[in-house]
Amino acid sequence: MPTDDPLYQRLQTLHSLLHHHAHRYYVLDSPEVPDAQYDAWFQELQAIEVQHPEWRTPDSPTQRVGGRVLDGFDTVRHRVPMLSIRTETDTEASGAVAFDTRIRKELELTDDTAPVEYVAEPKFDGLALSLRYESGVLVQAATRGDGEVGEDVTQNVRTIGQIPLRLDGRQRPVPAVLEVRGEVYMRRDDFEALNERQRQRIACGAKGEKTFVNPRNAAAGAIRQLDPQIAASRPLSFFAYGWGEMSAPEQGDPAFVTHFDGLMALNAWGLPVSDLVQRCAGADALVAYHRHIGALRDRLPFDIDGVVYKVNRLDWQKRLGFVTREPRWAIAHKYPAQEQMTTVLDIDVQVGRTGKLTPVAKLAPVFVGGVTVTNATLHNEDEVLRKDVRIGDTVIVRRAGDVIPEVVSVVTSASSPVRGPVFRMPVACPVCGSAVVRETGEVDHRCTGGLYCSAQRKQAILHYAQRRAMDIEGLGEKLVDQLVDARIIHGLPDLYRLGLSSLAGLDRMAEKSAGNLLEALERSKRTSLARFLYALGIRHVGEATAKDLARHFGSLDPVMDASVDELLQVRDVGPVVAHSIHTFFAQPHNRETVEQLRACGVHWDDEAGTGSAPQTLQGQTFVLTGTLPTLSRDQAKALIESAGGKVSGSVSKKTDFVVAGAEAGSKLEKAQALGVAVIDEARLLVLASGDAAP
Ligand code: IVH
């Protein structure tokens, strides 16, 4: 072997790096570097092996798909191998065109007017499972392992509520043997709640507990450990996306013509199939799907790392066949990674609207989750100490969903051994110098300065001006900074005392923008009670609670005068929220602020408020799908809610109506399958108005 060849030495280094990190990832469920870094090393090694095939040894990480079987689990040989999909990391939506061209060529399709039908699906970011049902009963659940042999994780999988233990044969007869293939995952909200619980446990001194790096590792960790009690305590979810072995139609069992048929059958048998699964005719529809899901990605309740396209016709899938272990009829297109490595340049402490102090890592700029990130939250002092993040460290940053980027962990092996000092929260507020306190039983430190603290004042004003609050366009962070720093504004009512002369002379405030701002302020005076209550920034009162309060009380004075007991009568209001509202209105300066705002002309119609619209849709559940002709999704939702109805994200037997617009997706088909009433926008408007004939 050419031991002195630098390229060969690099290959050796890559071997050991990849072995080390694959073990941490697959076996320990505790990765140290982001996936993107692992992938980069893997591809670098692949490239060297292409150049020098003679260096490719059987023990090269490229020769193993990953996932050594843990000692404690029985092994399962998959009767139909669990394949992987070819994954392309180009992030251009147009990548689908190349795939379609290849498929058409291989199928020798020449009629350009007949597009190939595909099924487009999200690429769920979890752990692949194969669920074996015999006579409709779940008899075995296995992980993918190396694709041929996986681990028997039946006990753990049985604890997942979303996975049926017995298939539902009421709509379609159940096959004698069925292996369902799909992904077990953890929803983002379940993940946040689990980590919050873990943080509390650690704070209470529980031994051996840790927080999880991301939902996928939390899910994989729950499935691949030996105690089913632990699996049961982790909130796991599941999506089916295919099948392996299935008994033959000769035995009277169903045969599918398309992949989509198969998914609909799985769904009818009681398995969750994502609503985002869609049939797409031709490359253009795939490109549109890629864009659509890309735009939705941040708002989805779970992590995805890309989209998958599959040829819909099963006879065509068969004709296309496989190359090594990947089907020719499917491809995955990845979105930008949600985790990356970077270095901590500094640790700042920021003061929030309620005085909460948050340590924030200032980072060397890094492109993650589709944007360049330079700040990431470190949550609180305990978290910084637990992760032991210091200036100069190399860290993993994660940006997923609408959640603010966070520092997940320190990569010790990549950090300099000479480290900055251990982080400590300041004892005085970095903005106003007031004392900082941490109340017993709380994880957060708070500035005691209240509205004396200009940071809290600024945040209160920004919150008030938000689109979902008073919607004052043009009142952004830079302007608020100037207005507060120049002592032009002390409290919220001062906003309505601004004039052209007070704005003139501020940075970037031409006469035109000053005029626009004054107009926006004027417009904001006409609002709704729910928005106003939300805008006040009462601790624990989010938009939903503000709406509930408005609906319950109908006007402001009864809210201001409500006792804690009266507040507890409001839907979803518990003791913490009730106390917070009561305390807020017990402060004379808060009541004074409200009176001054009203005196400045802020008003709303009690009668036309959310609470007093006729409750024509009381108790009815709606699902929206497709594009409606005149109403946006938010508007349709607001209309239904204001008439007392509920809007749900997925169709079930409990759904009363599916409101379908143009290009409605699988929700429409599901509604038809379940016999749920499907209506259009016009019918919705009639129902909401209360004029509908019974
Ligand atoms: S289909 C023959 N569909 O991605 C194709 N896989 O490399 C078999 N995955 O670990 C897989 N979402 O668990 C398929 N909608 C989807 C998927 C999906 C996520 C995972 C799968 C596997 C990897 C494929």
What local confidence, expressed as pLDDT, does residue 325 receive?
78
Angle of helix 259-268 relative to helix 666-674, nearest 10 degrees, comes to: 50
Which residue puts its alpha carbon closest to atom 2 of ligand 1? 83
Residue 463's pLDDT is 96
Residue, of 93 and 455, whose pLDDT is higher? 455
Are the C-beta atoms of residues 453 and 490 closer than 8 Å to each other? no
Residue type, 545: T
The minimum-distance atom of ligand 1 relative to the CA of 127 is 13
Tokens 């038809």 belong to residue = 672
Decide if pLDDT at 174 tops 80.
yes
Q: Is the CB–ligand 1 distance for residue 121 below 6 Å?
A: yes
**Max CA separation in the chain (angstroms):** 87
Q: Which range is least confidently modeled, 395-399, 506-510, 521-525?
A: 506-510
Residue 93: predicted pLDDT = 66
Query: In this predicted structure, which of 124-128, 352-356, 438-442 has the lowest mean pLDDT?
Result: 438-442
DSSP-assigned states of every residue in 427-449: SB-TTT--BEE--TT----EETT
Name the CA dihedral angle for 636, 639, 645, 649, rounded to a multiple of 10 degrees.
Answer: 20
Q: 403 or 472, which is more confident? A: 472
Buried b (16+ CB within 10 A) or exposed e, 2-40: eeeeeeeeebeebbebbeebbeebbeebebbbbbbbbee
Q: Give 465-469's long-range contacts (Cβ < 8 A, gap of 24+).
A: 465/495, 465/524, 466/535, 468/531, 468/534, 468/543, 469/531, 469/534, 469/535
As a whole number of Å, the CA-based R_g of the chain is: 29
Looking up tokens 């037997």 gives 653
What average pLDDT does the segment 330-359 reach? 93
- Least confident range of 16-30, 428-442, 562-576: 16-30
Mean pLDDT confidence for 308-319: 96
CA atoms within 13 A on the CB side of 389: 31
Q: Whose CA is nearest to atom 13 of ligand 1?
A: 128
Share of the chain above pLDDT 90, in %: 56
Tokens of 604: 């709303």
123 is catalytic: yes
- Alpha-carbon dihedral sign for residues 576, 578, 580, 586: negative
pLDDT band at 67 (very low <50, low <70, confident <90, very high): very low
- Paired with 334 in beta bridges are 306
pLDDT value at position 493?
A: 95
128 Cβ inside 6 Å of ligand 1: yes
Residue 360 has pLDDT above 50, yes or no: yes
Beta-carbon contacts of residue 5 (< 8 Å; ≥ 6 apart): none
The C-alpha atoms of residue 378 and residue 347 are separated, in whole angstroms, by 9
Distance from C-alpha of 361 to C-alpha of 347, rounded to nearest angstrom: 5
Catalytic residue among 123, 310, 458, 670: 123
Answer yes or no: are the C-beta atoms of 203 and 382 closer than 8 Å: yes
Residue 324, classed as helix, strand or coil, is coil
Find the DSSP H helices in 389-528: 454-465, 477-485, 500-503, 511-524
Residue 64 confidence (pLDDT): 53
429, 453 in Cβ contact below 8 A?
yes
**Residue in this structure with the two tokens 């520092």, named with its chain if needed:** 407
pLDDT in tens, 156-170: 998 888 888 888 888
Tokens of 626: 């497709």
Q: Distance (Å, rounded) from C-alpha 457 to C-alpha 352?
A: 9
Q: Which of 345, 341, 339, 379 is nearest to 360 (CA)?
A: 379
Residue 68, pLDDT above cutoff 50: no
User: Are 406 and 368 in contact, with CB atoms under 8 Å apart?
Assistant: no
- Tokens found for residue 339: 């985790």
CA of 664 to the centre of ligand 1 (A): 25
pLDDT above 70: percentage of residues in the chain: 94
In angstroms, the CA 515 to CA 511 distance is 6
Q: Which pLDDT does position 611 carry in this prediction?
A: 44
Looking at per-residue pLDDT, the higher value among 292 and 252 belongs to: 292
**pLDDT at position 607:** 41
> Whole-angstrom Cα distance, residue 97 to residue 122?
18
Q: Over the stretch 10-54, which tens digit does the pLDDT of each residue have?
A: 999 998 888 788 767 655 667 888 888 988 998 899 899 989 989
Q: How many CA atoms lie within 13 A of 636 on its CB side?
A: 28
Strands 657-660 and 677-679 turn out to be parallel
- Mean confidence (pLDDT) of the chain: 88
Q: Is 658 helix (H, G, I), strand (E, B) or coil?
A: strand
Atom of ligand 1 at shortest distance to CA of 274? 15
Residue 71 in this model has a pLDDT that exceeds 70: no
Q: Which atom of ligand 1 is nearest to the CA of 242?
A: 1
Contact 606, 532 (CB under 8 A): no
Distance 155 CA to ligand 1 centre (A): 23
Q: Residue 178 is inside which H or E element, if any? A: strand 177-185
Instruction: With a cut of 70, say whether residue 65 has pLDDT above it.
Output: no
- Rounded Cα–Cα distance for residues 315 and 331 (Å): 17
Mean pLDDT of 477-501: 93
Tokens of 504: 């003139």
- Tokens standing for 446? 């708070």
User: Cβ(184)–Cβ(150) under 8 Å?
Assistant: no
Say how many Å lie between the CA of residue 377 and the centre of ligand 1: 32
653, two tokens: 């037997």
Rounded Cα gap, residues 4 and 27, in angstroms: 33
Pairing of strands 304-311, 278-281: unpaired
Q: Which of 80, 241, 274 to mutate to test the pocket of ligand 1 (most atoms within 8 A of CB)?
A: 241
What is the 645 CA–ligand 1 centroid distance (Å)? 37
pLDDT classification of 354: cutoffs 50, 70, 90: confident
Whole-angstrom Cα distance, residue 550 to residue 528?
A: 9
Predicted confidence band of residue 335 (pLDDT cuts 50, 70, 90): confident
Q: Are 372 and 393 in contact (CB under 8 A)?
A: no
Given a cut of 90, is residue 155 above it in pLDDT? no
Residue 438 banded pLDDT, cuts 50, 70, 90 = very high
* Minimal-distance CA residue to ligand 1 atom 12: 123
Q: How many Å lie between the centroid of ligand 1 and the Cα of residue 117?
A: 19
pLDDT at residue 304 greater than cutoff 90? yes
Distance 127 CA to ligand 1 centre (A): 9
pLDDT of 609 over the 50 cut: no
Tokens at 572, concatenated: 């979803």
Answer whether 604 contacts ligand 1 (Cβ < 6 A): no
Counting from 1 in the atom list of ligand 1, the atom nearest the Cα of 122 is 15
Please tell me if the CB atom of residue 123 comes closer than 6 angstroms to any atom of ligand 1: yes
- Specify the pLDDT at position 608: 41
State the average pLDDT over residues 390-409. 89
Closest CA to 214 of 27, 386, 31: 31
pLDDT tens-place string over residues 571-601: 889 998 999 999 999 988 899 999 999 999 9
* Segment 615-664, tens digit of pLDDT: 788 888 999 998 888 888 877 887 888 787 888 888 888 899 999 988 88
Mean pLDDT score, 135-157: 92
